[in-house]
Amino acid sequence: MKYLGLVLDSRWTFEEHFRRLAPKLDRSGAALKRLLPNLGGPDAPCRRLYAGIVRSMALYGAPVWAPSLGKRPAAKLNACQRVMAIRMVRGYRTISREAASLLAGLPPWDLEATVLARMHDLRVEMQRRGETPLPRQVAAWRTEFRRDLRVAWRLRLSQPSAGHAVIEAVRPLFEEWLERGHGVLSFRVTQVLTGHGKFGRFLHRIKQERTPGCRHCVDRPEDTVEHTVEVCPAWAEHRRVLVETIGSGDLSRRALVQAMVRSEEGWHAVASFCEAVMLVKEAADRERVRERSSRRRRRDPDPDFRPP
């Protein structure tokens, strides 16, 4: 039975509601993939607005279904949120939901549903007593519940299912990352923070490269974020400028995040380094793809279909 936009079943599990809702969220996510490309496209506030619209669709009726939310409906929510978070941070589609949501500053939707349910329960309880909550009371509830949400979110991030490297880098600066008043993530900054980008290890993992070695080093060590940022001699000058600006020789991911949240200058320094380095790596990767395609065409020329 459908009532006020919610599909009700005899056991109040809401599995049928989410089964019908999932295709709508998927279509919205697919549309946003086209509207929000990794390079160019709308800016960060616009992306957050689009994500907020889909969030409203997903969390409609949350005070009713949140207390009985099961694993399968929660998984459908998580899958949709992952798409939204990746669009917001301009990342590869292989980034985990936990990592993308943390970078985007999007709390897990199942936790947000719990907050909405608690707010609703308090309002109902006061109305039952014949009282009307004052605006300052409502504001205090929101502040308290948001604080509880962040505690639960941070605890969940202590045992992530994927995206461990970026979560370990950001989690110690959890509040600072979420509360910062400057800096937006670009396609190339996200590559460096997540490791999902033009790095030999990642390209080898997704079968775009035969080996994980660094194409910019003679001895071809494994090309990782750490190798690119801290060691690779190809980026020595960019690295020198970065170290001078942030005032530290520690270029681990955690140190980069710390420099980014500390000041707008630090954010700009890290972003400039990422843009300069990843641009060159992307150009080199495109050249390798062209060379491989050219060799393949020479090896397998087009057949002659002309009649004899």
In the prediction, which pLDDT does 63 show? 86
8 A C-beta contact, residue 150 and residue 104: no
How distant is the alpha carbon of residue 245 from its chain centre? 27
CB-count burial class (<10 Å; 0-12, 13-18, 19+) for 217? middle
222 in helix, strand or coil?
strand
d(CA 77, CA 210): 36
In the prediction, which pLDDT does 10 show? 63
In the prediction, which pLDDT does 240 show? 96
In the prediction, which pLDDT does 259 show? 96
Structural tokens at position 268: 């700009």
Q: Which residues contact 265 (CB under 8 A, 6 or more apart)?
A: 245
Average pLDDT of adjacent 10-residue blocks, the chain of 308 residues: 68 74 86 88 92 90 84 86 94 95 95 91 86 86 92 93 92 96 96 96 94 91 96 96 93 96 96 97 89 70 46
Q: Which residues contact 41 (CB under 8 A, 6 or more apart)?
A: 35
Helices 264-299 and 253-262 cross at an angle (nearest 10°) of 130
